[in-house]
Structure formats: structure tokens, C-alpha cells
Amino acid sequence: MPIPELFRVLLALWRSGLLRVRPREILPILRAWRRCGQSFAFLSATASLRWGARPALQDDEGVLTFAQLHALSLGLADRLSSAAGVGPGRRVALAAANGRGFVVGLLACTRLGADVLPVAVDLPARVLEKILERQAIEGLLCEVAPPTVDVPCWPWLSSGRETTLEPPPVGRGGQLIVLTSGPAASPRESTAVLTCASCCPWSSASWRAFS
């Protein structure tokens, strides 16, 4: 990572409170950075290390702590890696209703170094196929597989498997792909990139964008 970019990331993490750590937390957080790279998965790993017992997410299924959320994302990452071959540089579409499924899916894919494209769960088949083709998507991670798509479907968001086993380190953390027209319409071309560093100081806003 270029030095100016590294300083920008560290400044963002400091402002968010993630770098204001106890001495005993420094080494585990540096290890998480090495494993996850600059990604949402690094934020999840750090939050799990520092505030594991605190509530992280509440949806219709109940409350998840930071530790539970991280363990669920690792469980899904393990399955995506071993059964679907998801890894660095892959492009995965994520179709999930509001709730833990979306967050777990995003964390799992970015932990593996894959880029994630959110798509609406109720897209017409022809629109979904057009988006998947245009964005060179290699697989669809979802709760319920759609009737017909031309890419592999992985309806694993509701599996609920937890693990503490970490996948191998990735050289580049996965990123979030944001369509300029939103997740429910045909996209317009854009060169903008949303990175973990740009969201750190206002991490709650980065989740609200899809609520």
C-alpha cells in the first residue's frame, strides 16, 4: 500500500476509535490487518477483538454481538472458499433483505478478498441477468436462489454456521461495488470506488446506505 494511502487509512481508523487500543490489543489488531487487508472484514475483526460481547446488530431474528457476527462471517467465508472457490479478485453479487444476511455476506466475501455488488432481492430476472453480465459477476450469494441466472448461486446466507478458523491472509481486501443507479436498476458507468477507509470515520453511515 502506498505510504500516503496508509496514513489516510490510519487517520480514518484513529478518528473512528479503532486505533485507540490497549497495549495488549495492538498485536492481535495488526494480525487482523495482515489477514484482512483494507476491508470491512478488518473492521469486523477489530470490533470483535475489542468489544466482542457488545451488541453489533439487531434485526427480526434478534441481537448479534460483535463476536457472533464475526464468527458467522468466518463460517460463511470458509464455506464460500472451500465449496465455491471464492477468493481474491473474484466478483460476487449479494442479494439479501435488510438484516444480518447482508452484513454477514459482505464481511465474508471481503474477508476472502472478493469484491461485492449488492443487488435488490426482487429484481426482475432480465434486469438481474443484465447487471450480472455487465459487472462480470462470477457468483450470486443469496438467501433464496432465483429461478434462472447464468452464474452459480449460493443460497447460504441463512446457514448460521459459526467458526473461529481464519482463512489465509489476502493481499488485497475485498471492496464494495456501488451502482450509480442503486441496487435495483440498470447501472450507469462510474469510476468511483467505495473503500473501507472512506467509511471508517462514519462507519454507521456506510451500513445505512443499504437500509
Return the pLDDT at 158: 86
To 10 degrees, what angle do helices 66-84 and 40-51 make?
A: 140
Side chain identity at 130, as an amino acid letter? K
Q: What does pTM read for this prediction? A: 0.78
CATH of domain 3-208: 3.40.50.12780
Q: Give residue 206's pLDDT.
A: 35
Look over the chain and give the mean of its residue pLDDT values, rounded to a whole number: 83
Give per-residue burial for 154-164: e unless 16+ CB within 10 Å, then b: bebbeeeeeee
Distance between CA atoms of 73 and 80, rounded to whole angstroms? 10
Cα distance from N-terminal residue to C-terminal residue, the chain: 32
Is the pLDDT assigned to residue 38 strictly greater than 90?
Answer: no
pLDDT tens per residue, range 109-161? 999 999 999 999 988 889 999 999 999 999 999 998 877 788 999 999 988 89
